[in-house]
């Protein structure tokens, strides 16, 4: 594959990437991209990108790209979908989807979960296709509850709601009335037409109002992956391809596919046995935090840890004064040799909860 080299500042990661990866500069996003990171002091970070720094770059970039202020919205159920309809966001959304597609193409995982309706549209749900009411759950649980109530409530309750075939939308503080059908604001919702109202309401919120953005999403997707390939998978399977499996973390399996570096004595080997015993006693939440600390994603790969790219490694550090650290871009845990199990447990818990970054210097 062709290679492209880019330099990005951590303080302006998204903006630098947006400029450096314009289609006229990098016409083929399937080409190999190598990254030079510049830290907050303006100095080039140590390390030659053999693929690991690009992986870190993608992770950090997606965290920025999926910030709600940039056009994506994080819902209460922790699933992403596009919220804004501003046309000047199109190219940025295309770029964001290119990055997500790159994760799939490279076989990498990120801590991302997308709403089911969003994935269905992204994967090519044909225009005009009837969308199921249950998809609203991943958009807005309260709206789903209200529409379910409307579906079964009495004739008197419907009349008291005083609904018509229009909706009020709020686009960044600007309130607009949108008619769900011709002259919809003049048509009252009744027991006889409520199912039509619910279907039009669902299709508007999950499809029609997002159609310009969905076109931009598909454009970004085509830069990296053939959309026909994605149609072989369900929304749940696509979500797992990007963000890993929701199954319990099997640290015995992870141990099997982990390489330990810098073992100098039998004591070091015994210490590694202690490490696996300690983390197997972690709560489910702390196990996920530890996995995210090392790999950047709290969930295991869909096909198990044997497919983790690159394979997980542990580097023993013969210095008890340091905290555990991670080179997440290489799936590498740097583990000091502490004196006892309690100190090891306490230091690991502290490290995985402190949210440390992963500069290579």
Confidence of residue 360 (pLDDT cuts 50, 70, 90): very low
Please give the pLDDT value at position 136: 85
When pLDDT is averaged across residues 256-279 and rounded to a whole number, the result is 94
Give the separation between CA 106 and CA 102, rounded to whole angstroms: 6
Higher pLDDT, 317 or 89: 317
Place of tokens 């999403």: 217
When pLDDT is averaged across residues 28-33 and rounded to a whole number, the result is 72
Confidence of residue 131 (pLDDT cuts 50, 70, 90): confident
**Per-domain boundaries in the chain:** 3-124+211-241, 133-206, 251-353
Of 69-83, 153-167, 283-297, give the range with the top mean pLDDT: 153-167
Please give the pLDDT value at position 260: 95
Q: How many CA atoms lie within 13 A of 179 on its CB side?
A: 8
Please give the pLDDT value at position 85: 46
Active site residues: 329
Q: What percent of the chain has pLDDT over 90?
A: 32
Please give the pLDDT value at position 74: 47
Please give the pLDDT value at position 172: 61
CATH number for domain 133-206, candidates 3.30.2160.10, 3.40.350.10, 3.40.1640.10, 3.20.20.140: 3.30.2160.10
Please give the pLDDT value at position 361: 35
Return the CATH superfamily for domain 251-353: Hect, E3 ligase catalytic domain (3.30.2410.10)
Q: Return the CATH architecture of domain 3-124+211-241.
A: Alpha-Beta Complex (3.90)
Give the separation between CA 53 and CA 264, rounded to whole angstroms: 29
Name the CA radius of gyration of the chain, rounded: 24
Helices (H), 21-75: 52-65
Helices (H), the chain: 13-20, 52-65, 90-106, 116-122, 141-152, 155-161, 194-206, 211-222, 227-230, 235-243, 251-256, 266-280, 284-295, 341-353
Of 3-17, 85-99, 155-169, give the range with the top mean pLDDT: 155-169
Per-residue pLDDT tens for 74-100?
454 555 555 544 444 445 555 565 666
Higher pLDDT, 328 or 192: 192
Please give the pLDDT value at position 88: 42
Q: What percent of the chain has pLDDT over 70?
A: 79
Confidence of residue 106 (pLDDT cuts 50, 70, 90): low
Per-residue pLDDT tens for 200-228?
999 888 888 777 777 776 776 777 777 77
Residues with Cβ < 8 Å from 50, sequence gap 6 or more?
Answer: none
Give the separation between CA 309 and CA 355, rounded to whole angstroms: 22
What pTM did the predictor assign?
0.66
Give the range among 159-168, 171-180, 350-359 with minimum mean pLDDT.
350-359
């Amino acid at each position: 594959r062709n290679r492209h080299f880019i330099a990005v500042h951590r303080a302006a990661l998204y903006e630098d990437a947006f400029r450096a990866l314009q289609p006229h500069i990098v016409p083929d996003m399937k080409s190999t991209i190598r990254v030079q990171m510049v830290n907050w002091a303006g100095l080039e970070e140590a390390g030659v990108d053999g693929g690991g720094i690009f992986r870190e770059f993608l992770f950090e970039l997606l965290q920025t790209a999926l910030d709600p202020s940039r056009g994506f919205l994080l819902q209460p159920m922790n699933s992403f979908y596009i919220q804004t309809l501003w046309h000047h966001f199109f190219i940025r959304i295309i770029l964001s989807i290119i990055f997500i597609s790159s994760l799939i193409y490279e076989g990498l995982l990120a801590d991302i979960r997308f709403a089911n309706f969003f994935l269905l549209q992204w994967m090519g749900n044909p225009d005009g296709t009837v969308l199921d009411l249950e998809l609203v759950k991943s958009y807005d649980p309260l709206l789903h509850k209200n529409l379910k109530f409307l579906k079964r409530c009495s004739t008197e309750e419907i009349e008291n709601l005083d609904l018509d075939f229009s909706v009020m939308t709020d686009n960044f503080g600007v309130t607009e009335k949108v008619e769900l059908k011709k002259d919809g604001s003049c048509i009252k919702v009744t027991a006889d037409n409520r199912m039509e109202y619910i279907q039009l309401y669902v299709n508007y919120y999950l499809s029609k109002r997002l159609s310009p953005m969905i076109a931009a999403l598909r454009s970004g997707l085509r830069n990296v992956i053939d959309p026909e390939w994605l149609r072989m998978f369900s929304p749940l399977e696509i979500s797992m391809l990007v963000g890993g499996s929701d199954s319990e973390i099997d640290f015995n399996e992870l141990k099997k596919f982990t390489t330990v570096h810098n073992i100098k004595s039998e004591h070091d080997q015994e210490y590694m046995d202690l490490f696996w015993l300690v983390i197997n006693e972690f709560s489910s939440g702390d196990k996920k935090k530890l996995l995210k600390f090392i790999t950047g994603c709290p969930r295991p790969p869909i096909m198990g840890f044997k497919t983790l790219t690159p394979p997980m490694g542990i580097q023993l550090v013969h210095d008890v004064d340091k905290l555990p650290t991670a080179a997440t871009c290489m799936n590498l845990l740097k583990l000091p040799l502490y004196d006892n199990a309690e100190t090891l447990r306490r230091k690991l818990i502290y490290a995985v909860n402190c949210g440390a970054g992963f500069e290579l210097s």
